[in-house]
Structure 1
Amino acid sequence: MFFYLSQFLSFLAMPLTIISLLIVIGALYVKKKWGKRILWTGIFLLWFFSNQFIANQAMLAWEPEFKAFTAVKNHEIGIVLTGVTNMSKTAYDRTFFNKGADRITHALQLYRMGKIKKILITGGQGLNPVNPQSEAELLQRFLLMTGVPAEDVMIEDQAKNTAQNALFTKEFFKKNGINTEQEFLLITSAFHMYRAKGCFDKVGLNTTTFPTDYYSHDTKYDFPSFVYPSPSSIENWHKLVKEWIGIVVYTAVGYM
């Protein structure tokens, strides 16, 4: 129930949802003075949230810096959070990725470099699954196809949110006799790292972070960045707002 409620609240607070409501209400009451103000507010917000420079600066300020692979200490286990596969397309001989594949490809790189000896993938099916497989299974399949031995890939495939990722991972370790006092390497998207780290800290798992999957880029001072509206900029704001709401809600209910 909490999972569905949080998704609904996030939808209501999304910039595009608010913009759409303002423009529709403003257009319906455009003959009234307050209606015009609402309409122009919606138009201004549409420009603001679609501006590439502004969106990138906001994401740059939020995302932690990436870490050089050579600077990462060796760990026994790297924990990879899911949320990067196309769960609406079912296949049994491959894995379809959405943006965020860095989570698993960088984990693979860390494994090949000997920075982590084993990989634990945590994540189930999420909201309204079409694919009968879990995300953890799909990412496990990808690693096995790249030649990673089966004994080095563990999965926890029941978690539906970040809080459960942390809780179920700890339960998995205890069930399988893995020392929960050691330091783990936590691998997830940069924009999501603050909340993920908070959840793992809450359940008592000691982690050091390895952020991946960056939505920000180096600052560009060019005409398109300042002038051209971009759908991806609105998407970046959606990511940020959803994450901020998640942090507030998780903090309020004691998940982090």
Structure 2
Amino acid sequence: MFFILSKIVWFVFSPVNFVILVAGLSVLLAFTRFARPARWIALFSLAALGLMAFSPLPRAVIRPLEDRFPQQDARKGPVTGIVVLGGAVGIARGDIVLNSSAVRMTKAVELARLHPEAKIVFTGGAANLITEAKETEADGAKLLFEALGLDPARLILEDQSRNTRENAVFSRRLVDPKPGERWLLVTSAWHMPRSIGVFRMAGFDVEAFPVDYWSSGEVDDFIRPYSRAPRALEVADNGFKEWVGLLAYRLAGYTDALFPAP
């Protein structure tokens, strides 16, 4: 139920979707006796869209998430296993498809080569709400990892999870981590606080290995506007989603802290 509800609620209240829906409402109201309020609603929508598309706001929203867990030295060992969260890979027309978070996958391969003794756990099923997917993210990960030369015997694929909490719970059941083992968690830096929170609650002791940074880490993150609206809107949407996700997961009892820390 949580998965279905989260999909529906976020479709409506995703900042970009919400502004577009509100703008559509203003158009409808413009042909009624509420034409005057409609103009103010349209103005609000345009201002909100412009703020997300061209101002430094998206970087300001996502920067604290990315700063929460520091980067690690990739060569530091030993490493028992590397857990890679889905959200970056899939299959379309029988071939591998990567999105803007593809560095999750490439970093996993880099770490696998630096630590040849480590297992590689990929966790990601199909998060479709309406249609039934023929392939899962794990299927895409298997194709990619094997194409890049990783030994299939090192791969552990979890293909049932639909969200971050299920990533943690199902991965723990699959690998049954032992005390003293060292497991790295690879996901986007902006997604790491919520990920660490749910892995802790699931009883899976992992170390954060953040990748896929969307802010530069420099002071100008808070003053430098975007020049391309599509990229800015993507960053804004993901940043706001994570803050809302942190609150929702805390209220649902999936994490034990509102903003998990190292």
Equivalences for residues 68-79 of structure 1 within 5 A? 68-70=72-74, 72-79=76-83
Which position in structure 2 is the counterpart of 1:18?
Answer: 18
Tell me how large the CA RMSD over aligned residues is.
2.7
Could you say which residue in structure 2 is the equivalent of 1:111?
A: 112
Shift of 1:90: 3.2
What SS is found at the alignment partner of 1:75? coil
2:63 aligned residue: 60
Structure 1 residue 131, shift from structure 2 partner: 4.6
Match status 1:144 vs 2:146: yes
CA distance in 2, matches of 1:136, 1:159: 10
- Tell me the amino acid that sits aligned with residue 137 of structure 2: E
Aligned partner of residue 244 in structure 1, secondary structure: helix
Q: Secondary structure at the match of 2:56?
A: helix
Q: Summarize the Cα distance change of 1:218–1:254 in structure 2 as closer, same or farther, 3 Å threshold.
A: closer
Structure 2 residue runs without a partner (length 5+): 256-262
From 40, 43, 62, the equivalent of 2:46 is 43
After TM superposition, the structure 1 = structure 2 runs for residues 222-233 of structure 1, keeping only pairs within 5 Å, are: 225-226=224-225, 228=227, 230-233=229-232
5 Å matches for 1:93-242? Answer: 94-114=95-115, 117-128=118-129, 131-174=133-176, 178-179=177-178, 182-217=181-216, 225-226=224-225, 228=227, 230-242=229-241
Count of aligned positions: 249
Kindly tell me: are residues 236 and 179 of structure 1, through their superposed partners in 2, closer, same or farther at Cα, counting changes over 3 Å? same
Task: Pick which of 161-170 and 38-47 moved more.
Answer: 38-47
Residue 88 of structure 2: aligned partner? 84
The answer on whether the counterparts of 1:90 and 1:131 sit within 8 Å (CA) in structure 2 is no
> Mind listing any 5+ residue stretches in structure 1 that lack a counterpart?
none
- What letter corresponds to residue 162 of structure 1 in structure 2? T
**Counterpart residue type for residue 107 of structure 1:** A
Deviation at 1:48, TM superposition (A): 0.7
TM-score of the superposed pair, with normalisation by structure 1:
0.85
Greater Cα offset, 244-253 or 2-11: 244-253
Q: How big is each residue's C-alpha offset from its partner over 1:60-117, in whole Å with a ceiling of 9 and x where there is no partner?
A: 2321366253464431101011111244x131xx422111111111011111112861
Give the Cα separation in 1 of the matches to 2:166 and 2:128: 14
Query: Contact 1:16/1:234 (CA < 8 Å) preserved in 2?
Result: yes
Q: Secondary structure at the match of 1:109?
A: helix
Partner letter of residue 14 of structure 1? S
After superposition, give the CA deviation of every residue in 1:210-230 in whole Å (9 maximum; x if it has no partner): 011222235596xxx547461
Residue 33 of structure 1: CA displacement?
A: 4.6
Report the residue type matching 2:134 in the other structure. P
Cα 1:20/1:147, change in 2 over 3 Å:
closer
Q: What is the DSSP-based 3-state SS (H/G/I as helix, E as strand, rest coil) of the residue aligned with 2:118?
A: strand
After superposing on structure 2, the runs of 4+ consecutive aligned residues of structure 1 that deviate more than 4 Å are: 27-33, 128-131, 218-221
Match of 2:80, SS state, is strand
What letter is aligned with 2:15? P
Mean Cα displacement is larger for which, 20-29 or 50-59? 20-29
Q: Give TM-score, length-normalised by structure 2.
A: 0.83
CA distance in 1, matches of 2:127, 2:28: 37
For 2:97, give the aligned amino acid. F
